[in-house]
Structure 1
Amino acid sequence: MATVLVIGASRGIGLEFVRQYREAGARVIATARDDEGLARLKALGATPLRIDVANPASVSGLAWQLDGEKIDIALYVAGAWATADARTPPTREDFDRLMHTNVLGAMQAIPQVAPLVEAQPRGRFAFITSEMGRIAGVDSSYAWIYRASKAALNMAVASAQHDHPQAILVALSPGWVQTDMGGAAAPLTVDQSVAGMRAAFESLGPQHKGAFLDYDGRPFEGW
């Protein structure tokens, strides 16, 4: 039985990962930051952990909560969003919220979780990023703090791969998905996006280490 860790699983894509992996028979450990989220995870049969990725003191507790675990698939799904463009100076509150959630939380999780992933053959650690973090072909400044945070996340993943050679680390875009962030007009449902990403995980090999991929496993040309 595979062991799957989902960091940031209280709703949307993270919760759907928990649902699909539990349905497939995996043992799932999943994090949420409040009682409501933890209850949803428990109802799906996951082992819930209370973690707030935007709070460095909270994220630092991952290691002892996962002591002794070996993780086949780890997922960093937690993310924050803001829509302001470059015509508006970012507020410190928005900048700190997005950078703490989207980048710092992931960078704190890597040294705690990646060794547990390396302990398993074909261990994989995926970080949910966005095509909006791709510098090549950027078409606007819409949500520019979010764009900058996801570009930083992609770099963090590519950099960390060198220190964890026994695992496969990837930055993975979920596509444009019908979530609170993506809106109802998005072409992908949450279950379609997650099913595509799960299939992509199964095909990951050494050639994908540190890569930036679309939800179906295709690499982006240029970052």
Structure 2
Amino acid sequence: MPNALIIGASRGLGHEFVRQLAGQGWKVFATARNDAALEELRGVGAHACKLDVARPESLAGLGWQLDGESFDLAIYVAGVFGPREGAKSAPTRQDFDLVMHTNVLGAMQALLLVAPMVEAAKGKLVFISSDMASIADASSSYGWIYRSSKAALNMAVRSAASDYPGATFAVLSPGWVRTDMGGENAPLEASESVAGMLDVIAGLKPEESGAYRNYAGKTMPW
């Protein structure tokens, strides 16, 4: 039975990854911040682990919970959008710190913890990015803290890939998805986006480590 770890699985895309992988016969470890979400994850067959990616001590605790495990697939889904304003509105330090800490620092700290566990299985380590992370395609400053955080995440993952040759790294854009973050006007259901990303992940080859793709397999411009 293959092993998967989903970081940030309390709702939306993370929860859908758990549902689909468990349905395909994977043993799934999944993280959430609160007890109600943890109980719900257990209800869909996951091994639930408490984690707040914004707290380094919580990540250290995850290491104890996962001691001795190896993962064929690990996915960092945790993220926040923050203010929707663009470059005509100055970000507050509080907003900037929250978005950057969750989307970038939390991911970088999790990478150091999880990458050896993925290498042990010669598996795949994936981080959920965004179309809005593409510098080449930027046509608006809408959500500019979020844009900047996901571009920084892309760099962190791409640059780290060479340090862990036993794992295949990738950043994936899920598209515009109908979740709490994406809103009700988004064209994609979470189930469609996640199914597409799992297909892309399944097709990733080791020589493609560090790739930036979308849920349909398109290579995204950096």
Question: TM-score range with shorter-chain normalisation?
Answer: over 0.9
Q: Percent identity?
A: 55
Q: Secondary structure at the match of 1:60?
A: helix
Q: Which runs of 5+ in 1 are unaligned?
A: none
Equivalent position of 1:212 in the other structure: 212
Match of 1:108, as an amino acid? Q
CA contact (8 A) 2:103 2:150 kept: yes
Spell out the pairing of 1:1-223 with structure 2 (5 A cutoff). Answer: 1-82=1-82, 83-121=84-122, 123-220=123-220, 222-223=221-222
How much does 1:158 deviate?
Answer: 0.4
CA contact (8 A) 1:133 1:150 kept: yes
2:219 and 2:137 mapped to 1: Cα distance?
15
Match of 1:54, as an amino acid? A
CA contact (8 A) 1:60 1:108 kept: no
Q: Which runs of 5+ in 2 are unaligned?
A: none
Match of 1:169, as an amino acid? F
TM-score by length of 1: 0.97
Over residues 32-77 of structure 1, what are the superposed CA-to-partner deviations in whole Å (9 max), with x where a residue is unaligned? 0011111111111100100001112212222222110010000000
Match of 2:206, as an amino acid? P
Question: What number of residue pairs does the alignment pair up?
Answer: 221
TM-score by length of 2: 0.97
Query: Which runs of 4 or more aligned residues in structure 1 lie more than 6 Å from their structure 2 counterparts after TM superposition?
Result: none
How much does 1:206 deviate?
Answer: 2.1
Q: Secondary structure at the match of 2:4?
A: strand
2:203 and 2:58 mapped to 1: Cα distance?
33
2:142 and 2:46 mapped to 1: Cα distance?
36
How much does 1:114 deviate?
Answer: 0.5
CA contact (8 A) 1:62 1:109 kept: no
Over residues 92-145 of structure 1, what are the superposed CA-to-partner deviations in whole Å (9 max), with x where a residue is unaligned? 111111011100111001111001101113x00000010101100201110000
Match of 1:10, as an amino acid? S
2:14 and 2:95 mapped to 1: Cα distance?
22
1:219 and 1:178 mapped to 2: Cα distance?
22
Match of 2:194, as an amino acid? V
2:140 and 2:169 mapped to 1: Cα distance?
28
Q: Secondary structure at the match of 2:79?
A: coil
CA contact (8 A) 2:50 2:62 kept: no
How much does 1:207 deviate?
Answer: 3.1
2:46 and 2:170 mapped to 1: Cα distance?
24
2:146 and 2:12 mapped to 1: Cα distance?
18
